[in-house]
Amino acid sequence: AQKVTQAQTEISVVEKEDVTLDCVYETRDTTYYLFWYKQPPSGELVFLIRRNSFDEQNEISGRYSWNFQKSTSSFNFTITASQVVDSAVYFCALSEASRTSGTYKYIFGTGTRLKVLA
Amino acid sequence: DAGITQSPRHKVTETGTPVTLRCHQTENHRYMYWYRQDPGHGLRLIHYSYGVKDTDKGEVSDGYSVSRSKTEDFLLTLESATSSQTSVYFCATSNSNQPQHFGDGTRLSIL
């Protein structure tokens, strides 16, 4: 069965520190997709990145970077030089197609609350 | 932005009453989803739809029903609300395995 684990419930860092949010997933399929979303204090959910299971290249977008490792079933998210505006809950998610219906469902982790202190 | 509107945004009701939440999209996405968000549980899938009149259950579907009579609208109904259904409800849309776009959420309190 699909499962996404975000073991870090809450992390606090001081501004300008680097921080890594962990995501470990379980899936039986070889084709799947991984996502990260951000939920700031205002409550909306904002898409950050999508990665398919065949693309293990790390990605960097400004201060954000993602490390996808199939060997350890992990898709970790690093924020470099954190800022107060990075304070939010971050969710990792996994999607795969149902073998019977071909439809797509998404499984979310329980989220990591990041607090960046000034 | 996917143009997703949830209504109402806030609702307070009493145990045993029926409640219907509406999700409306303007992006013609095939898939629509209902989640609930509770502390310590993240986002949990209630039901989803993969086409008009095509729906399936998620991991926490008990006590909820859905309907999708047209592409744009996906309704979530609590036939007889219970206090355990107090939560924040999010609607999302997508095409296949593309990123989901979320509505702003509905805060539902059942007293």
Q: How confident is the model at residue A10 (pLDDT cuts 50, 70, 90)?
A: very high
Percent of chain A with pLDDT over 90: 78
CB-based contact (8 Å) between B22 and chain A?
no
Quick one: pLDDT at residue A57?
83
Quick one: pLDDT at residue A38?
97
Rg over CA atoms, chain A? 14
Nearest to B45 among A45, A105, A109 (CB): A105
Quick one: pLDDT at residue B2?
54
CB-based contact (8 Å) between B95 and chain A?
no
Instruction: For residue A80, report the phi and psi dihedrals to the nearest 5 degrees.
Output: -95, 140
CB-based contact (8 Å) between B38 and chain A?
no
Query: Which one, of B95, B104, B106, lies nearest residue B32 by Cα?
Result: B95
- Residues in chain B within 8 Å Cβ distance of A52: 97
What is the torsional sign of CA A39, A43, A47, A48? negative
Tens of each residue's pLDDT in chain B, 111 residues: 559 999 999 999 999 999 999 999 999 999 999 999 998 899 999 999 999 999 999 999 999 999 999 999 999 999 999 999 999 999 999 987 889 999 999 999 999
Instruction: For residue B78, report the phi and psi dihedrals to the nearest 5 degrees.
Output: -105, 110
Do residue A108 and residue B58 have CB atoms under 8 angstroms apart? no
Beta strands A112-117 and A10-14, pairing class: parallel
